[in-house]
């Protein structure tokens, strides 16, 4: 690759963090706003989120969930009802204290203080639970299977576009069940939906598993997670599903008359995935030329760039491009004709940076000979083929693109998966080198003091669902255990 100029100013090897920022900017996905920690999701980035929403929303509804909408604000006295929960969020809540402003000394200042301050929701277990408490009377009213798409706010001191922002968008599912068994089945069902979404739809490399005791969601009995590996070997917690037991139903009073006519507390769950996953998608598939997108969430599968060198040809070329777009649309291929007046060479690289799977350049030669000139985003290979062949092959070319992405990501991640570490010393060696990645090692799941990992900046990411079922010594305590855990640095 010597001498080859990449489409971004910085490569992954030079500076992974600067490269990430360059991919986001180069693809025009998002930008920082003037409000501390809040991002603007620009149209191309938002189009990816819309495609994600549609895929997930359809799947949730397939499983009988319904959408609803609950208040943005949560009174502080409601928050106090679940002690662990409030402890988990107290340090990062935006609080509304006034409901008016006035000019004083030429400056706008808040007036009309509220009696009870309101938290801007960091998550909605309590406020949705309170509604559920009103809705449930008998076991016949269960299960309640509710989902909400919304914004949430967690005050973050160090923010990064998509990965960690003060405000983010997400969906939060909240369900209430008659029995523990049903609630646990729901928790696992949605954990499975997330695994499908992250690994099969987004083609990311993710390890499903359970969070260790010390790192569960604040107020949960059990937390399930998909830990995805990024190209630098770090982990991104990509979607979580929680079995909440009766903790929240006792806090807000979700009671019902059971089959034996006795008053019972419901068992609840919650599960969510956020715009953070866009950051994970970027760090899984992008390369030194910019973004790469799996077809399911690519706003366009094909971009068609008219190359007009002589304005006399313009009408012919545009007509060819437009009719080609129409033909592709009929095959459910999302195609787009670029019409902006910038030089053709720049245009192609714009779409390379945006990760459009197939980039067509159409000039007078293509029109005359009924050809397309096609660049494949993953390989940047460029070739000519007849228009009819392209139209016939386009669906399989998109599939091939997806397979290339998935294989590339999987190969990279599997290389960084280490199962031979047996001691803390070996683990330190692994994480000290350039060999970042996931270490699968023995861990006693009841351990809550993991300070031995701190100097490596490593944490227990999950206890993977797939266990080796061998006995070994816990990497922290040295006690015998059967449990494997995944250790990694993380975002």
Question: To the nearest whole angstrom, how small is the minimum distance from the Cβ of residue 127 to a copy of itself?
Answer: 7
* C-alpha to C-alpha distance for 488 and 233, rounded to whole angstroms: 8
201 binds a copy of itself (CB under 8 A): no
Q: How many CB atoms neighbour CB 98 within 10 A?
A: 12
Q: Please give the DSSP secondary-structure letter assigned to residue 469.
A: -
* C-alpha to C-alpha distance for 489 and 491, rounded to whole angstroms: 7
Q: How many CB atoms neighbour CB 457 within 10 A?
A: 11
Strands 167-177 vs 267-274: parallel, antiparallel or unpaired: antiparallel
Structure-block tokens of residue 422: 């047996």
Residues 120-159 that bind a copy of itself (CB under 8 A): 120, 127, 130-131, 134, 140, 146, 150-151, 153, 155
93 binds a copy of itself (CB under 8 A): yes
75 binds a copy of itself (CB under 8 A): yes
Cα 99 to Cα 118, 151, 159, 254, distances in angstroms: 11, 20, 28, 31
Region for 109 from its dihedrals, namely left if φ exceeds 0, alpha if ψ lies in -120 to 50, beta otherwise: beta
Expressed in angstroms, the distance from the first to the final Cα of the chain is 30
User: Is 300 exposed, middle or buried (CB count within 10 Å of its CB: 0-12, 13-18, 19+)?
Assistant: buried
Say if residues 198 and 228 touch (Cβ distance below 8 Å): yes
Size of the site for a copy of itself (CB under 8 A): 66
339 binds a copy of itself (CB under 8 A): no
> 119 vs 372, which CB is nearer to a copy of itself?
119
> 322 vs 364, which CB is nearer to a copy of itself?
322
- From 427, 444, 445, select the one nearest 487 (Cα to Cα): 427
Question: To the nearest whole angstrom, how small is the minimum distance from the Cβ of residue 272 to a copy of itself?
Answer: 17
> 72 vs 391, which CB is nearer to a copy of itself?
72
> 74 vs 398, which CB is nearer to a copy of itself?
74
Question: To the nearest whole angstrom, how small is the minimum distance from the Cβ of residue 97 to a copy of itself?
Answer: 5
Question: To the nearest whole angstrom, how small is the minimum distance from the Cβ of residue 282 to a copy of itself?
Answer: 17
Question: To the nearest whole angstrom, how small is the minimum distance from the Cβ of residue 91 to a copy of itself?
Answer: 6
Candidate list 7, 22, 41, 226; residue touching a copy of itself; CB under 8 A: 41
Residues 168-187 that bind a copy of itself (CB under 8 A): 169
69 binds a copy of itself (CB under 8 A): yes
167 binds a copy of itself (CB under 8 A): yes
Contacting range for a copy of itself; rule: CB under 8 A; set: 109-117, 283-291, 324-332, 357-365: 109-117
The Cα angle at residue 71 between residues 112 and 171, in degrees rounded to 5: 140
One DSSP character per residue, 414-441 reads HHTEE----SHHHHHHHHHSS--SEEEE
Candidate list 14, 67, 368, 446; residue touching a copy of itself; CB under 8 A: 67
Candidate list 110, 309, 435, 455; residue touching a copy of itself; CB under 8 A: 110
97 binds a copy of itself (CB under 8 A): yes
**Which helix (H) or strand (E) element contains residue 54?**
helix 43-62
Structure-block tokens of residue 145: 């299977």
Residues near a copy of itself (CB under 8 A): 31, 33-35, 38-43, 45-47, 49-50, 66-80, 86, 90-102, 107-110, 117-120, 127, 130-131, 134, 140, 146, 150-151, 153, 155, 167, 169, 340-341
């Amino acid at each position: 690759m010597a001498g080859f100029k990449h489409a971004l100013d910085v490569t992954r090897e030079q500076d992974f963090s600067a490269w990430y920022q360059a991919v986001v900017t180069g693809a025009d996905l998002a930008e920082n706003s003037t409000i501390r920690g809040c991002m603007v999701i620009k149209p191309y980035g938002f189009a990816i989120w819309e495609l994600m929403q549609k895929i997930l929303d359809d799947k949730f509804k397939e499983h009988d969930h319904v959408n609803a909408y609950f208040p943005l604000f949560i009174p502080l006295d409601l928050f106090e009802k679940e002690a662990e929960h409030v402890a988990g969020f107290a340090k990062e809540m935006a609080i509304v204290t006034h409901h008016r402003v006035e000019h004083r000394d030429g400056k706008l200042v808040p007036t009309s203080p509220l009696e009870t301050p309101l938290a801007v929701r960091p998550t909605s277990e309590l406020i949705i639970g309170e509604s559920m408490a009103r809705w449930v009377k008998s076991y016949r009213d269960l299960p309640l299977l509710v989902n909400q798409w919304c914004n949430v706010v967690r005050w973050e001191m160090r923010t990064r576009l998509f990965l960690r922002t003060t405000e983010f968008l997400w969906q939060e599912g909240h369900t209430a069940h008659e029995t523990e068994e049903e609630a646990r089945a729901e928790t696992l069902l949605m954990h499975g939906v997330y695994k499908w979404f992250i690994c099969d739809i987004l083609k990311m490399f993710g390890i499903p598993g359970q969070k260790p005791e010390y790192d569960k969601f604040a107020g949960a009995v059990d937390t399930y997670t998909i830990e995805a590996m990024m190209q630098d070997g770090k982990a991104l917690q990509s979607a979580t599903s929680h079995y909440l037991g009766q903790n929240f139903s006792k806090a807000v009073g979700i009671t019902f008359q059971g089959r034996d006519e006795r008053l019972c507390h419901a068992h609840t769950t919650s599960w969510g995935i956020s715009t953070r996953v866009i950051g994970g998608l970027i760090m899984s598939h992008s390369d030194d030329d910019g973004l790469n997108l799996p077809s399911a969430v690519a706003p366009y599968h094909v971009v068609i760039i008219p190359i007009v060198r002589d304005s006399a040809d313009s009408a012919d070329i545009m007509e060819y491009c437009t009719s080609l777009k129409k033909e592709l649309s009929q095959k459910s291929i999302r195609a787009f004709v670029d019409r902006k007046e910038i030089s053709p060479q720049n245009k192609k690289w714009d779409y390379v940076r945006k990760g459009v799977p197939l980039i067509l350049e159409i000039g007078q030669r293509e029109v005359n000979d009924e050809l397309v000139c096609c660049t494949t985003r993953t390989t940047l290979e460029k070739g000519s083929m007849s228009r009819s062949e392209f139209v016939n092959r386009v669906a399989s070319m998109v599939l091939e693109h997806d397979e290339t992405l998935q294989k590339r990501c999987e190969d990279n991640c599997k290389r960084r998966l280490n199962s031979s570490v047996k001691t803390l010393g070996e683990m330190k060696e692994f994480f000290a080198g350039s060999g970042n990645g996931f270490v699968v090692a023995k861990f006693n799941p009841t351990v809550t003091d993991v300070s031995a990992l701190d100097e490596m900046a490593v944490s227990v990411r999950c206890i993977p669902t797939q266990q080796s079922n061998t006995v070994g010594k816990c990497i922290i305590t040295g006690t015998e255990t059967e449990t494997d855990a995944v250790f990694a640095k993380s975002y």
